[in-house]
Amino acid sequence: MKVAVVGATGLVGAKMLQVLEERQFPVSQLIPVASERSIGKFVRFCGKRYRVTGMQDAIALRPDLALFSAGGSTSKTWAPAFAEVGTIVVDNSSAWRMEPDKKLVVPEVNAHVLTENDRIIANPNCSTIQMVVALKPLHDRYRIRRIVVSTYQAVTGTGVKAVQQLMAERRGKSVEPAYPHPIDLNVLPHIDVFLENGYTKEEMKMVLETQKIMGDSSIRVTSTTVRVPVLGGHSEAVNVEFERDFDLDEVRQLLRQAPGVVLVDDPAHNQYPMPLYARDKDEVFVGRLRRDESQPCTLNLWIVADNLRKGAATNAVQIAEYLAQRGILKAQHRQTELTC
């Protein structure tokens, strides 16, 4: 297939290229796309260099698939233009997530909602993705009433500028900051913009996206999202109240069997999920399972995943893989497949 990666020179775009190569997605022609200032630069894929092109040139090539990670305004402008020429777009921005006619998909949770009529598909927020992957098998068994989640999110979720700020601060240097305060040796209870209700946009994403992905608007969610000086991935402390009581051994078994989940829950031997060890992995790691002793039918758990991979690039590629397996995504013209 002809595959365009829009935002190919960014952190997530580069990770999309890496994941496409690692998972041996059937790419016959790669079309790296970026903003005007990046046109003419080169990216590497399958051992070869590819020149970055602009939007119009990419659309003229009529790719079969376009993976977008270039910001909401770019997606709003250009995703429909790709769709009009027959391209299936998987968009990593927040532009389409809450549109009623657009699917918001985590393959382990709700891939079944996708149809051949879906031309623009939304990739959820990174923090939401890892949480719903872990909670879906528990929701199916016990029915979730309420979720209280506090996140500890890596600077890579902001982008290259934030990584540069963190590393410069550790060297005692000064660079143009990505955040309103220092991030090294600090935590910021502030991700995205503040809204009129006092929550940040990131916090409300977790509320609304969880309900949409799980297909259950009755699930009550409240969130506090925090930026921490970490590179490897996002962590979440999650408190879940169920309709039915649970057995902890059964919970562990459900998580062991859940697609995309790795249970790491042996505190006696200091075994629990950490972003340091989740980095560059596709799975969602879950541990610190324990009853909430303050009220019935309530579970505490700790969830960690690489936000650039499962939280963004891998989830997008998995959506494309699902569409290809179902025959929804297919090459418009016969191609010769690249060999990585």
In-domain check, residue 238:
yes
Task: Assess whether pLDDT exceeds 60 at residue 287.
Answer: yes
- The proportion of the chain whose per-residue pLDDT surpasses 70, expressed as a percent, equals 98
- Does residue 214 sit in the same domain as residue 232? yes
The model's pTM is 0.96
Average pLDDT of 51-69?
97
Which candidate in 234, 269, 297, 333 is catalytic? 234
Residue 337 lies in a domain: no
CATH code of 206's domain: 3.30.360.10
- Residue-level pLDDT at 339: 55
From 126, 181, 297, 340, active-site residue:
126
3-state secondary structure labels for all residues of the chain: CEEEEECCCCHHHHHHHHHHHHCCCCCCEEEEECCHHHCCCEEEECCEEEECECHHHHHHCCCCEEEECCCHHHHHHHHHHHHHCCCEEEECCCCCCCCCCCCECCHHHHHHHCCCCCCEEECCCHHHHHHHHHHHHHHHHHCEEEEEEEEEECHHHCCHHHHHHHHHHHCCCCCCCCCCCCCCCCCECCCCCECCCCCEHHHHHHHHHHHHHHCCCCCEEEEEEEECCCCCCEEEEEEEEECCCCCHHHHHHHHHHCCCEEECCEHHHCECCCHHHHCCCCCEEEEEEEECCCCCCEEEEEEEECCCHHHHHHHHHHHHHHHHHCCCCCCCCCCCCCCC
Query: What average pLDDT does the segment 77-91 reach?
Result: 98
Quickly state the pLDDT bin for 232 (edges 50, 70, 90): confident
The pLDDT of 66-81, averaged and rounded, is: 96
228 found inside a domain? yes
Catalytic, 269? Answer no
Angle at Cα 222 formed by Cα 219 and Cα 228, nearest 5°? 135
* CATH number for the domain that contains residue 76: 3.40.50.720
Q: Kindly state whether residues 8 and 155 are assigned to the same domain.
A: no
Q: With respect to residue 334, please indicate whether it lies within any of the assigned structural domains.
A: no
Domain that holds residue 288: 127-307
Q: What is the pLDDT of residues 129-140, one digit of tens each?
A: 999 999 999 999
Answer yes or no: 46 catalytic: no
Q: Is residue 340 in a domain?
A: no
